[in-house]
Amino acid sequence: MSSTWHNRIDFSVFGEAEGPAIGVIVDALPPGEYIDTEALRDFMSRRLISSEYTISRDGGFPSIMSGIQGCRTTGSPLMALITNNELVPDEADAVPRIARPGNADYTGTVRYKGFNDVRGGGHLSRKLIAPIMFAGAVCGQILERRSIYVGAHIWSIHNIKDQSFDPVNVSREDIVEVRKKRFPVINERKGSMMRNDMARADAAGDSLGGVIECAVTNLPAGIGSPMFDGLENTISQLIFGIPLVSGIEFGAGFTAAKMLGTQFNDEFYADDHGHIRTVTNNHGGLLGGITSGMPVIFRVAFRPNPNIGKSVNAVDCSTLENVVTGEDSKAQSCLVPSFVPAVEAAANIAVLSHMLDYPNF
Is a pLDDT exceeding 80 seen at residue 56?
no
| Number of Cα atoms under 13 Å in the Cβ half of residue 258 | 4
State if pTM tops 0.85.
yes
Based on C-alpha coordinates, what's the Rg of the chain? 21
| Number of Cα atoms under 13 Å in the Cβ half of residue 269 | 9
Q: 3-state DSSP helix/strand/coil percent for the chain, to nearest 5? A: 30, 25, 45
Q: What is the pLDDT of residues 64-98, one digit of tens each?
A: 999 999 999 999 999 999 988 766 555 555 677 88
Q: What angle do CA 317, 323, 327 make, to 5 degrees?
A: 115
- What does the mean pLDDT of the chain come to? 91
- Least reliable range by pLDDT among 110-114, 206-210, 272-276: 110-114
pLDDT computed for residue 100 by the predictor:
85
Domains of the chain: residue spans and CATH: 97-355 (3.60.150.10)
Give which of 291, 295, 282 is closest to 216, Cα–Cα: 295
User: From CA 120, how far away is CA 261, in angstroms rounded?
Assistant: 49
SS3 153: strand
Burial class (CB in 10 A: 0-12, 13-18, 19+), 54: exposed
